Amino acid sequence: MVTRRDFLHQGMGLTAAGLLATPLIGCAARNTHTVAAAGSIVHTAKPSSHTAGHAKNKAAAAAAADTAPAASTELEPPPDIFDAQALDLEFWLKPRVLDVTRPASGERAKILYWKDGQVIDSAYQELCHLMRDVNGKETAPIDPKLFETLWGAQAFVARYGIEHPLEILSGYRTPTSNRRLIEAGVPAARQSLHISGQAADIRIANLNEEVLGGLVRSFRQGGVGFYYRSGPRGGWIHADTGLKRTWKG
């Protein structure tokens, strides 16, 4: 269980690392390209002679100075991330509502599943049903810690005005379903934590994989897989409650 202080600290670390600083909405690839391009312009301004080099360096410095204010304006985190403990307390103590969809089945539900420090059992059952194996048509108990991670991610970005439902691309998987995915060439581990109800593949519309994955990783609750994909819907993030590890798939 991540503490409130840890969470805020991690959230701030995330901001400092520039993950939250990249615009939350938009194409991740495009943002990365912009940053990479700007960086390479400065780096490629190599001096051809000492004097010219000096001038060029000055020009590069000026260019950097020109871009710095714009960048820092863009990188400025919303003030509430540095807000007092009071807001932080409120974040963790408020009732937890998960707004989820299952694109595979077309279901959508907004479920209040945690209140006054307790998981609401009927809501938990409903969430487990939503996280079921849609292909194998089987429901299994889901690790409650996983809901904490999913809720934390959704509630955190909601503070930035991103209130899209959390898309559950895959939750629980029967061993048979998991094997079929592997046979079909879909990235899935043989001993997948999806089989034990400890993993979910998730996406939040318009939120890039880097930010969502970085945020989930900051919870330090388990494994995080970054699945980058081009295309209008982008990739997804695998989150589980197993060992802490990160990978790109």
Q: What is the distance between the alpha carbons of residues 239 and 99, in angstroms, rounded to a whole number? A: 17
Residue nearest to Zn ion (CB): 238
| Minimum gap (Å) between residue 67 Cβ and Zn ion | 38
Chain position carrying tokens 């509430």: 80
Q: What is the distance between the alpha carbons of residues 158 and 173, in angstroms, rounded to a whole number? A: 29
DSSP 97-157: EEEEEETTTTEEEEEEEEETTEE-HHHHHHHHHHTSBTTTTB--PPPHHHHHHHHHHHHHH
Residues numbered 209-238 forming contacts with Zn ion, rule: CB under 5 A: 238
Q: Kindly determine how many residues on this chain lie close enough to bind Zn ion according to the rule CB under 5 A.
A: 3
Distance from the Cα of residue 188 to its chain's centroid:
19
Distance from the Cα of residue 214 to its chain's centroid:
5
Per-residue binding string, Zn ion, 65-104, x by CB under 5 A, is: ----------------------------------------
| Minimum gap (Å) between residue 223 Cβ and Zn ion | 9
Q: What is the distance between the alpha carbons of residues 98 and 124, in angstroms, rounded to a whole number? A: 11
Per-residue binding string, Zn ion, 100-129, x by CB under 5 A, is: ------------------------------
Binding of Zn ion at residue 201 (CB under 5 A)?
A: yes
| Minimum gap (Å) between residue 236 Cβ and Zn ion | 8
From the list 133-141, 150-158, 172-180, 197-205, the region that binds Zn ion by CB under 5 A is 197-205
Tokens of 210: 């880097």
Tokens of 34: 């912009």
In Å, what is the CA distance from 157 to each residue of 19, 80, 90, 116, 177? 12, 12, 15, 22, 32
| Minimum gap (Å) between residue 105 Cβ and Zn ion | 17
Nearer to Zn ion, 8 or 199 (CB): 199
Nearer to Zn ion, 199 or 215 (CB): 199
Distance from the Cα of residue 171 to its chain's centroid:
16
In Å, what is the CA distance from 240 to each residue of 129, 221, 226, 246? 18, 8, 12, 10
| Minimum gap (Å) between residue 13 Cβ and Zn ion | 25
| Minimum gap (Å) between residue 239 Cβ and Zn ion | 8
Nearer to Zn ion, 96 or 173 (CB): 173
Q: What is the distance between the alpha carbons of residues 100 and 154, in angstroms, rounded to a whole number? A: 10
Nearer to Zn ion, 45 or 182 (CB): 182
| Minimum gap (Å) between residue 229 Cβ and Zn ion | 14
From the list 47-55, 113-121, 135-143, 201-209, the region that binds Zn ion by CB under 5 A is 201-209
Residues numbered 170-189 forming contacts with Zn ion, rule: CB under 5 A: none
Nearer to Zn ion, 28 or 199 (CB): 199
- Chain residues binding Zn ion by CB under 5 A are 199, 201, 238
